[in-house]
C-alpha cells in the first residue's frame, strides 16, 4: 500500500499532516453537533471569509508577505484569529436583533462577510499589493510541518476544555433555549462562547487544511451523528467517531490515488453521512411506524 510506504519513508512529510488532520477532526466534531442543532452551518463560511479582513489587518502590521519568519507567521495567525473572533461576535450582535424582527442570522453573516472582504481588499491593496490570499485562506494539509501540527493539537485541547467546562449549559441551550433561559442559563454568554470557539476552530482548520475542509468538518460529523441518536452524550461520541473515520479514510484515499487530501476527506465524510442516514432511517423506522 502506498499509505504505509509514505508513512514509513517520508515521516516528516506525512505524519504531521495526519496528526493535524486528527486534531482538527476532534476539534471540529464536537462543535459540529452544536452547529447542526442550532442551524449555524453557514457561519463557518462567514467566519472563514472574514479571514480576508484579518489578512488586511495583518498587512497593516507588515505581516502579509510571501516569506515570514516562524514568529511572524504566528503573529499573522493571531491577528487573523482576532479579526475573525470579532467578526463572529459581530454576527452574534446583529443576529440577536432577530428577536426584535430586525436582522436574520443569514443576513448578519452576509453583512459581516462582504464587509470583511471589502476591508481586506482595501488594506492589502494599500499595504501589501503582491500578497497572495491563498497562502493563508486555502491551506494545503500536506504542507503542514510539525510546529503547525502541534499548534493544532494545542488549539484542540483548549477548545475541548472550554466545551467540557460549559457542557451542561451548552447542551441545555442547544436543545431548548427558552427553557434554559427560564432556568437561569445565561444563554447570551453561552452563544458568545460558541461563536468564539467556532472562530478559533474555523481559522485553525482553514489555515492548515483550507476553507472547504473546515466547513465539512463543522457540518458533516454532527449531521451524521444526529441521524443515529438523539442522546446528547451519545451524539457527541458518534460525531467524534464519524470525523475520525472520515479523516483517516480520506487520508488513505488521498495517498492511494494521489488526490488532494482536503477533497478526499470531504468525499469520505460525505460517504459517512450517507451511511449514517441509511442506518438511522432503518433503526428508527419501526418506532416511527409504531408511533
Reported confidence tier of residue 196, pLDDT bands at 50, 70, 90: very high
Contact 195, 50 (CB under 8 A): no
State pLDDT tens for residues 59-114.
898 887 656 676 777 888 899 899 999 998 888 888 776 555 555 677 888 888 88
Residue 289 clears pLDDT 50, i.e. is over it? no
Sequential DSSP letters for the chain: -HHHHHHHH-HHHHHHHHHHHHHHHHHHHHHHHHHHHTT-TTHHHHHHHTHHHHHHHHHHTT--SS---HHHHHHHHHHHHHHHHHHHHHHHHHHHGGGGTS--HHHHHHHHHHHHHHHHHHHHHHH-TT--THHHHT--GGG--HHHHHHHHHHHHHHHHHHHHTHHHHHHHHH-HHHHHHTT--HHHHHHHHHHHHHHHHHHHHHHH-HHHHHHHHHHHHHHHHHH---HHHHHHHHHHHHHHHHHHHHHHHHHHT--HHHHHHHHHHHHHHHHHHHHHHHHHHHHHH-
Phi-psi region of 148 (alpha: psi -120 to 50; beta: other; left: phi over 0): alpha
The whole-number pLDDT of residue 151 equals 92
Reported confidence tier of residue 288, pLDDT bands at 50, 70, 90: very low
Residue 120 clears pLDDT 50, i.e. is over it? yes
Cell numbers found for residue 32: 459540529
The arithmetic mean of pLDDT across residues 1-21, rounded, is 85
- Residue 97 vs residue 4, higher pLDDT: 4
The whole-number pLDDT of residue 286 equals 46
CA distance 155 to 15: 18
Name the residue among 68, 32, 2 with its Cα closest to residue 197: 32
Reported confidence tier of residue 22, pLDDT bands at 50, 70, 90: very high
Q: Which residue has the cell 442559563?
A: 185
For 230-247, b/e burial (b = at least 16 CB within 10 A) is: eebeebbebbbbbbbbbb
Cell numbers found for residue 112: 459581516
Q: What's the Rg (C-alpha) of the chain?
A: 20
For 90, 117, 136, 231, the CA distances from 79, given in Å and listed in that order, are 17, 15, 12, 38
DSSP label of 65? S
Average model confidence (pLDDT) across the chain = 85
Contact 250, 266 (CB under 8 A): yes
Instruction: Break the chain into its structural domains and give their ranges.
Output: 2-286
Residue 276 clears pLDDT 80, i.e. is over it? yes
**Residue 285: how many other CB atoms lie within 10 Å:** 10
Give the architecture-level CATH label for domain 2-286: Orthogonal Bundle (1.10)
242: Cα within 13 Å, side-chain hemisphere? 36
Amino acid at each position: 500500500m502506498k499509505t504505509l510506504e509514505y508513512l514509513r519513508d517520508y515521516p516528516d512529510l506525512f505524519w504531521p499532516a495526519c496528526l493535524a488532520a486528527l486534531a482538527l477532526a476532534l476539534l471540529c466534531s464536537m462543535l459540529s453537533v452544536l452547529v447542526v442543532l442550532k442551524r449555524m452551518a453557514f457561519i463557518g463560511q462567514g467566519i472563514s471569509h472574514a479571514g480576508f479582513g484579518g489578512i488586511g489587518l495583518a498587512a497593516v502590521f507588515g505581516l502579509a508577505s510571501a516569506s515570514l519568519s516562524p514568529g511572524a507567521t504566528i503573529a499573522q495567525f493571531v491577528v487573523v484569529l482576532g479579526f475573525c473572533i470579532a467578526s463572529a461576535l459581530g454576527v452574534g450582535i446583529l443576529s440577536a436583533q432577530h428577536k426584535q424582527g430586525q436582522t436574520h442570522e443569514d443576513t448578519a453573516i452576509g453583512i459581516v462577510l462582504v464587509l470583511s472582504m471589502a476591508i481586506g481588499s482595501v488594506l492589502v491593496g494599500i499595504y501589501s499589493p503582491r500578497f497572495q490570499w491563498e497562502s493563508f485562506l486555502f491551506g494545503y494539509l500536506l504542507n503542514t510541518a510539525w510546529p503547525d501540527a502541534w499548534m493544532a493539537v494545542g488549539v484542540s485541547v483548549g477548545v475541548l476544555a472550554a466545551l467540557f467546562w460549559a457542557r451542561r449549559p451548552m447542551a441545555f441551550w442547544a436543545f431548548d433555549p427558552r427553557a434554559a433561559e427560564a432556568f437561569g442559563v445565561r444563554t447570551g454568554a453561552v452563544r458568545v462562547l460558541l461563536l468564539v470557539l467556532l472562530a478559533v476552530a474555523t481559522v485553525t482548520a482553514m489555515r492548515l487544511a483550507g476553507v472547504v475542509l473546515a466547513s465539512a468538518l463543522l457540518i458533516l460529523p454532527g449531521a451524521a451523528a444526529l441521524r443515529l441518536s438523539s442522546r446528547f452524550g451519545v451524539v457527541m461520541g458518534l460525531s467524534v467517531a464519524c470525523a475520525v473515520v472520515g479523516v483517516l479514510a480520506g487520508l488513505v484515499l488521498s495517498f492511494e490515488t494521489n488526490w488532494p487530501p482536503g477533497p478526499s476527506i470531504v468525499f469520505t465524510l460525505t460517504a459517512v453521512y450517507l451511511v449514517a442516514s441509511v442506518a438511522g432511517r432503518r433503526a428508527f423506522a419501526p418506532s416511527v411506524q409504531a408511533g
